[in-house]
Structure 1
Amino acid sequence: MSKSAGDALIPAATILLLRDGAEGVEVFMVVRHHQIDFASGALVFPGGKVDKLDREPHVRERVDGAEGLDDWEFSMRVAAIREAFEESGVLLARSEQTGKLVDAARLKMLEHYRDPLNKGEVGIGDFLAREGLRLCGDALTPFAHWITPSMMPKRFDTRFYLAVAPEDHLAVHDGSESVDSVWIRPVHALAEAEAGTRTIIFPTRMNVEKLGESPSAAHAIEAARGRPVVTVEPQVTKNDAGEPVLRIPVEAGYSVTEEPLSAVANVAKPKAG
């Protein structure tokens, strides 16, 4: 049976921006706007859909670390960096003249591009060419790959990456798609979700928990490089008590392999009309 257009997977990418705090690794997270139809109000990592402009041929020549990447993986990395800039103001890019990371002073001069990039009024390739920049595709470490379960009204094919945030970049939410932001230790994010003061959806929670196994950003990146990324597409099934659950593969390396279906039922809002 052929799938309808509504069943098509939407390619998306997200970055776990990391830094080392006084008590260990911290990750930057944003709170999604309540009017967004997927994970509204939830604490998530900056990220979003791959844009057709991310795939333009001239983009590849302005991305470090693009060698050997197929078009799918390449577009994921471009989208991840672009979305992080749009949603948090952190830009993983280098000057093509000096080879050095964009510093805080230069970043401030590039701030006005965030909204046009988000609206598709300027493509990432044109932005890089105008400003003499190269994306740091080589700064991203693959961390996870999740596909939204088939019963959801909107399905994403999402790649998660790790990256250390430049020390002098001030991460701030965009005020539209995201309405709040925080640097937070994984253990604190999980505790707040457990207490009901934060909403964290299942895939995000699993990846926050996995990140929390590392005491530092460097350790998290080293650990991710040392293990294969196993694609997770949760399957609807029943547990031993006959209750419906989402089940994920043991090989993915998370602490649990199933989640009650009732806990994930309201991630996506029903389609209007």
Structure 2
Amino acid sequence: MSEAKPTTPVTARPAATVLLLRDGPAGPEIFMVVRHREIEFAAGALVFPGGSVDAADAEIAAALGSGDPLAAFRVAAIREAFEESGLLLARTDSGIALDPTQGAAIAAAHRDALNAGSRGFAALLQAEGLRPDIDALVPFAHWVTPADLSKRFDTHFFLAPAPGGHAATHDGREAVDSIWITPGQALAEAEAGQRTLLFPTRLNLLRLAEAQSLGDAMSLAAGRPVVTVQPVLEVDAEGRKMLRIPVEAGYGGPLFPAGVRAMVPKVRPAG
């Protein structure tokens, strides 16, 4: 697979991704979806719920009165999580979290319309008397697509506990399958050729695999500074194409085999 280089750098589109976690018998499990094979971006890949930040997300964030510069990204992550998993990270105006019955009823009433574009997220929140629970999200990573690619995203990754007891299902539109899976299992299945992982997805799974529990994952993320990663393509002394990222980002090495840049079949730190 190849991609024509733009003559001038394309502006990276603001985007948000959320890693929804729960405790499982073998450690923390993460909700992931399989992208439709005919979709424009990441076709067929196993990904975390996420997507572009839109103007309505920024309006909701502004109405919350939060001074957090990432508030719009947090709102977008919560909206995308609901669209792609049916899990809604929200509280009532009085601060009460949704129980599973309420969550299921809200998903049944609004999710299809939201995914079809006939209803906005702000309208859902207003109709149900809810506020997005932006404080439930912990910043985890920040990735920017390399400047020479024609489709670019400026993506903030967040961790969040999945609402306990709520049912998660893929949307059947952009995603054709979904799974609760440990990071280690997702990586092993990709290594065996059973899954396709994007380069950032793989590295974030590797980092998440350090955690022994949901609480451990949240604590590790809260205590680690987020370092922006914008991979740079290099050619090493042996003529191999490599992607360089900051060591300070915490992914175990500065250089990784480039492979196919959008879809990296195997990623191991090099040198």
TM-score after normalising by structure 2: 0.90
Cα displacement (A) at 1:51: 1.7
Instruction: Give the counterpart of 1:108 among 94, 104, 122.
Output: 104
Deviations 1:42-65 (A, max 9, x none): 100011111221122x5533x4xx
Q: Name 1:48's counterpart in structure 2.
A: 51
Q: Aligned partners of 2:116, 2:235: CA distance in 1, in Å?
A: 42
Residues 265 and 169 of structure 1: is their aligned pair in 2 closer, same or farther, counting only changes over 3 Å?
Answer: closer
Q: Does 2:238 correspond to 1:236?
A: no
**5+ long unaligned stretches in structure 1:** 268-273
Aligned to 1:17: 20
Are 2:34 and 1:31 equivalent residues in the alignment?
Answer: yes
Deviations 1:167-224 (A, max 9, x none): 1111111011001111111111110010000111110000001000010111111111
SS in 2 for 1:262: coil
Distance 2:89 2:162 in 1: 8
Matches for 1:172-251 after TM superposition, within 5 Å: 172-251=169-248
Rounded Cα–Cα distance in structure 1 between residues aligned with 2:80 and 2:164:
19
Please state how far the C-alpha of 1:258 moved relative to its aligned partner: 2.3
Q: CA deviation at 1:23?
A: 1.4
Separation in structure 2 between the aligned mates of residue 170 and residue 121 of structure 1, nearest angstrom: 24
Deviating beyond 3 angstroms after TM superposition, the runs of 4 or more aligned structure 1 residues are 3-6, 58-61
Matched residues, number: 258
Q: Please name the residue that 2:78 is paired with.
A: 81
1:174 and 1:126 mapped to 2: Cα distance? 20
Residue 108 of structure 1, CA deviation: 2.0
SS in 1 for 2:259: helix
Whole-Å Cα distance in 1 between the matches of residues 7 and 105 of structure 2?
44
Shift of 1:261: 2.4
Asked if 2 retains the 8 angstrom alpha-carbon contact of 1:54 and 1:123, the reply is no
Match of 2:62 in 1: 60
For structure 2, list consecutive stretches of 5 or more residues without a partner in the other structure: 1-5, 265-271
Per-residue CA distance 1:78-122 (angstroms, 9 max, x = gap): 00000000000000001114x221112112221232233234332
1:8 aligns with 2:11: yes
Conservation of the 8 A alpha-carbon contact between 2:16 and 2:50: yes
- Look up the equivalent residue of 2:96 and give its one-letter code: K
- Matched position secondary structure for 2:97: coil
CA distance, structure 1, for counterparts of residue 148 and residue 75 of structure 2: 29
- Counterpart Cα distance in 2 of 1:79 and 1:226: 23
In structure 2, what is the equivalent of residue 270 of structure 1? none
Give the distance between the partners of 1:240 and 1:120, measured in 2 at CA. 50
Q: Is the 8 A contact 2:61 2:72 kept in 1?
A: no
In terms of mean alpha carbon deviation, does 7-16 or 111-120 score higher? 111-120
- Displacement of 1:5 in angstroms is 8.6
1:69 aligns with 2:71: no
Q: Which amino acid aligns with 2:251?
A: Y
Residue 251 of structure 1 aligns to a residue whose secondary structure is helix
The Cα RMSD (Å) is: 1.8
Compute the displacement of 1:4 (Å).
Answer: 7.6
Contact 1:164 1:217 in 2 (8 A): yes
Higher mean Cα deviation, 138-147 or 235-244?
235-244
